[in-house]
Amino acid sequence: MNKNFIKIALLSFFISSCSLSDMNRDNIVQTTSSAAGGYLGYHLSDGDIFSTTVGSSVGLIIGKYLSDFIGQDDYYFYKTEALKTLEKNDNEKSITTGYWKNPKSGNRGVIKIKGHFGTPECRLIEHIFINKRKTPSNAFDTACRQESGQWAMIK
């Protein structure tokens, strides 16, 4: 691997870590892929600024999709389905159960809306988690409606 590529990637990481107060995995993936795209665009076009910018932009877009894919863990699928089930329950009061499965891990679960309480409107959610070994475990979560009207999981 080219030493300049490593230098540019490290420099991009350090610059972005100074400018981003919320440095997390997604920011690292997006910044690194943007730097890699800019580096490739620069070298494939013999230093043309337009190609460098396009390469960096394409790298950032790829990094966004890559960070979204990496972030799809069991909690992501559970949370997505729980919020969908809450929205469906608002529209059709009879829907109180949802199911999720993570295709990457093979884990799955059942979501049951147990009841509502409080102001703002909050719901108690039972989550039955079933891992690959098919051993279930129960957990309870709370979701509340925000001022915007959207549901949000409360930790």
Handedness of CA 58, 34, 24, 22 (dihedral sign): negative
List the pLDDT tens digit at each of the 155 positions of the chain.
Answer: 566 666 666 666 555 555 545 556 667 767 777 777 777 777 777 767 777 777 777 777 777 766 666 656 778 888 888 888 888 877 667 778 889 888 877 888 999 988 777 766 888 888 888 877 777 888 888 888 888 888 888 86
**3-state DSSP: the chain helix, strand, coil percent, rounded to 5?**
50, 25, 25
- Cα-Cα-Cα-Cα dihedral sign, residues 7, 8, 10, 11: positive
How do residues 95-112 score in pLDDT, each as one tens digit?
788 898 888 778 889 999
**Which residues fall within 8 angstroms of residue 112, CB to CB, at 6 or more apart?**
96, 97, 125, 126, 127, 128
Tokens coding 40: 């490739």
Pairwise CA distance, residues 68 & 75, whole Å: 13
pTM of the model: 0.55
8 A C-beta contact, residue 41 and residue 62: no
